[in-house]
Amino acid sequence: MTGTVGVLALQGSYNEHIAVLRRLGWKGVEVRKPEQLNDLGGLIIPGGESTTMAKLAEYHNLFPALRDFVKTGKPVWGTCAGLIFLADKAVGQKTGGQELVGGLDCTVHRNFFGSQVESFETELSVPELAEREGGQPTFRGVFIRAPAVLEAGPNVQVLASYSFPLSKPSTTDSSVVEEGKVIVAVKQGNLLGTAFHPELTADTRWHSFFLKLLTPNGEEASTSAAGPEKPDRIDLPVFVD
């Protein structure tokens, strides 16, 4: 099943990821139990409410299996809450915190961009994505109660950053957060993390980028991977505590 991608299906936008995988000609399967990780070619941890997802993962005893999967070297992609899961360290958490899978050498602020009403869309500069997947040099980032990477290790490749209003509090003391700028997409070996939701746009380039990590010699994931010039606008889902 090396051509099969698992999508953690505890909560959040897992159906949307599976739909994009289907568009690109790949099989996506829902993962809720440790044994369902066996023989997968890769894994997507979707966006949702990270604390709720962590509690459900703990209930199903998924954390040891998820950590083992990351250590296999198979590609794993975390979007929004999934990025939090993959980070080695998370700040801005609720009382008591939450368990993490880890693997990405970075510190993530769990709710950097604020509450649900502060969710937004913006054009992100993505030169690496455009070079590999074609299409426009920008990507429409959908941020829903999104995290951000505050610190990244030397082996972490920054794929996208976002310039935020200078009034944004308590962020400029980080060693890699320039004044008014924060990291929102990273790659480290087999691990990919995005603070935004590519699955909620019509542009499939991030999925194609991820799928090429599963294929030898970077073979094409799909001829439609570059996506449309102007992705369709869709309504944002509501994720609540």
Q: What angle do CA 189, 195, 200 make, to 5 degrees?
A: 110
Q: Mean pLDDT, to the nearest integer, of 195-220? A: 87
Q: Region 180-188: what's the mean pLDDT?
A: 94
At residue 224, φ and ψ (nearest 5 deg) are -100, 15
Per-residue pLDDT of 113-150, as tens digits, reads 877 778 899 999 999 999 999 999 999 999 998 999 99
Per-residue pLDDT reduced to its tens digit, 87-99: 999 997 665 567 9
- Res 172: pLDDT: 42
Question: Mean of the pLDDT values across residues 182-206?
Answer: 97
Its CATH architecture, for the domain 4-218, is 3-Layer(aba) Sandwich (3.40)
Q: What distance, in Å, lies between the first and last C-alpha atoms of the chain?
A: 35
**Catalytic annotation, residues:** 80, 197, 199
pLDDT score, position 215:
81
Q: Where are the alpha helices (DSSP H) in 156-229?
A: 205-211
Average pLDDT over residues 165-172: 51
Which of helix, strand or coil describes residue 62?
Answer: coil
Contact by Cβ (8 Å): 191, 103: yes
Distances (CA, A) of 240 to 28, 109, 111, 118, 166: 26, 18, 13, 13, 27
Q: Give mean pLDDT, residues 96-116.
A: 87
> What's the pTM?
0.86
Rounded Cα gap, residues 116 and 200, in angstroms: 16
Q: Which residue has the tokens 């010039």?
A: 229
Q: For 157-166, how does the pLDDT look when each residue is reduced to its tens digit (9 = 90+)?
A: 999 999 876 5
User: Which residues make beta-bridge pairs with 43?
Assistant: 6, 76
Q: What type of residue is 180? A: G
What is the pLDDT, as a whole number, of residue 118? 81
What's the whole-number mean pLDDT along residues 73-88? 96
- Beta carbons within 10 angstroms of residue 114's beta carbon: 13
pLDDT for 175 equals 47
- Residue 51 has φ and ψ, to the nearest 5°, of -65, -45
The percent of residues above 70 in pLDDT, for the chain, comes to 80
